[in-house]
Amino acid sequence: MTRWARVHVVQITGGIGRSMQAVFWLINELLNLYWWVIIIGAVLSWLVAFEVVNTRNRFVAMALDFTHRLTEPALRPIRRFLPDLGGIDISPVLLLLGIMFLQKLLYDLARTVSF
């Protein structure tokens, strides 16, 4: 391989590394947003359960519906495998642990891709 070819290969792979860093950053930020949606959904469900907020309020109903629609597809498979704990739902905690694992894996992968 000539010197000219080696220089261009390094420039190309460096560009791929930088673009992959941007993809990793975007995925990490989306996971962070989903993290907060899960937490907000859990807090809202507690507030409804303890009758602190009224579900007949249009804003509260929309917020509950929004968080339910975003989190339920990820929480439903976890709930299928969990035993009945008598009214305690730990599926959001397990999902948050899964997100933390994915973020750590993503961070380690991003470090290996960067040149």
Give pairs for 79-83: CB < 8 Å, separation 24+: none
Res. 85 pLDDT band, cuts 50 70 90: confident
Q: State the Cα angle at 91 between 71 and 53, rounded to 5°.
A: 60
Number of domains in the chain: 1
Q: Higher-confidence residue: 13 or 78? A: 78
**Mind listing the pLDDT tens digit for each residue in 33-80?**
999 999 999 999 999 999 999 999 999 999 999 999 999 999 999 999
Q: Does the predicted model carry a pTM greater than 0.95?
A: no
Give the dihedral sign, CA 20/22/28/30.
negative
Tokens of 76: 């439903």
CA separation for the pair 18, 2 (Å, rounded)? 25
Q: Higher-confidence residue: 72 or 16? A: 72
Query: Which range of residues forms the domain containing residue 81?
Result: 3-113
